Amino acid sequence: MTDRSIAARDRQAGAEEKRRQILDAAVRVFARRGFHTSRVGDIAEEAGVAHGLLYHYFASKDEVLQTVFRENWSELLHRFEQVEASEEPADEKLRGIVKILLRTWRNDPDLVTVMVREVGRSAQLATQVEVIGQGFAVIERVIREGQAEGVFRPGLDPQLASWVVYGGLEEILTGWVMGRLPDGDEEVARAERTIVDVVLGGLGETTVVV
């Protein structure tokens, strides 16, 4: 590798690090101040970069929010698909998806706050419907798989059931974001057990004991 190629690689790595620094700062600012009352300058200040540098990476505050959603939802979807591709039975796969989604709150509450509160209200959400639908599709496929395995009741509509599952998870996250549900470590674990019991108990032929 030549000195020129090494320098180019280092510049690219530095640019990616700066871009990530801006996105992480935006999540903190949006979570703390709200998207609509935040300014580009607030994000730049939080990131510790010059105001104009932010525009080198993003055309607008709206693009920053869209990028936060797209990249983090893609990562979440990738983790869902890894669970789906595992050798676990379908009920364990569904249990794994529940854990992934609920534990994002403990891992990064600012990000969950932005995803639930800001992205959900964004006028740009309509452009993301297809991407969001991919998450529902994973859950639907797992439910179909469970029906084929005899783990889940065959008479249930898999598509509707996937919306019920995701809707329940999203409402719990919303409750935490809005401060309407307790969200300590014990409460998060309890929520995980409760939704697994309710969902898998409703889908299964017999009540699931967690």
Is CATH 1.10.10.60 the right assignment for the domain spanning 1-58?
A: yes
- φ, ψ for residue 204, nearest 5 deg: -80, 170
pLDDT in tens, 166-198: 999 999 999 999 999 988 888 888 998 898 888
pLDDT in tens, 56-82: 999 999 999 999 998 999 999 999 999
Give the pLDDT score at 1. 62
CA–CA distance from 116 to each of 3, 64, 70, 113 (Å)? 46, 16, 13, 5
Residue with tokens 């969001």: 132
Residues 6+ apart with CB under 8 A from 54: 22, 40, 43, 44, 47, 64
pLDDT in tens, 3-16: 555 444 545 656 88
What is the assigned CATH class of domain 62-210?
A: mainly alpha
Q: What are the residue boundaries of the structural domains of the chain, listed by start?
A: 1-58, 62-210
Per DSSP, 154 falls in state T
Higher pLDDT, 159 or 209: 159
Contact 72, 92 (CB under 8 A): no
Q: What is the mean pLDDT of residues 94-103?
A: 93
Q: Is the pLDDT of residue 140 over 50?
A: yes
What is the C-alpha separation between 120 and 123, in angstroms, rounded?
9
What is the C-alpha separation between 187 and 193, in angstroms, rounded?
10
